[in-house]
Structure 1
């Protein structure tokens, strides 16, 4: 009589469950601790001011580049259409502040024109963004 030996396969694999748990814990940690900032979508170098403070998160950001182009929510707008866009946004939430994020080398005339359009659109709170001076 011959005996046939059956080889039993033992679980020689690596259990990856603890590794997946650690990956998900790290993912949750990084999501919770990261800060999400909303910007205008254009690259600007803000001027510095010693009296700079933080404003509300639900604000409308108007970006002005060094070349003088105007952007709202990463979309370029003309000065002539800025008032209508602001009126539409203010109709949704009338107390939302407007923050002008202007490059420090942007033409001052464009910023003044934006301030004028904000007044015509009946915006109550308008601020100009700056970095806090250290």
Structure 2
């Protein structure tokens, strides 16, 4: 009888919780959410958009090109030359073939620059291009 009691009391010592599977699961969930999250690229410049009565809300825009009143073009907070827009858009389409572009031009900007930006995006192969406006 003593040997049975001794073995039971010896087994009921401290128990440990193995944290490794829990940490692995948390990292797998973190990687899943990072991969499935779509990142929005901002133009990085504040512009005054013109107003339009027919303006509609666009749910998803992958790249936003900003055109300031003095004609500077911005993508993701970086100034960009008109000649490098086509190459940037081709790289963007290689990463995201169904991507969309929104051109946010200041209401006092020159229309010719917005048309050139639009033309460069189309030459790069972007199919879904929009111009941003405020709903009036």
Output the TM-score relative to the length of structure 1.
0.68
Q: Partner of 2:67 in structure 1?
A: 64
Please tell me whether residue 75 in structure 1 is matched to residue 75 in structure 2.
no
CA distance in 1, matches of 2:43, 2:73: 10
Describe how 1:9-24 pairs up with structure 2 within 5 A: none
Q: Partner of 2:55 in structure 1?
A: 52
The structure richer in helix per residue is 2
* Alignment match of 1:105 (pick from 105, 108, 126): 108
**Displacement of 1:55:** 1.3
Unaligned runs of 5+ in 1: 1-36
Q: How many residues of Structure 1 are paired with residues of Structure 2 in the alignment? A: 97
Structure 1 runs (4+) greater than 3 angstroms displaced: none
Output the TM-score relative to the length of structure 2.
0.67
Unaligned runs of 5+ in 2: 1-39
Q: Partner of 2:130 in structure 1?
A: 127
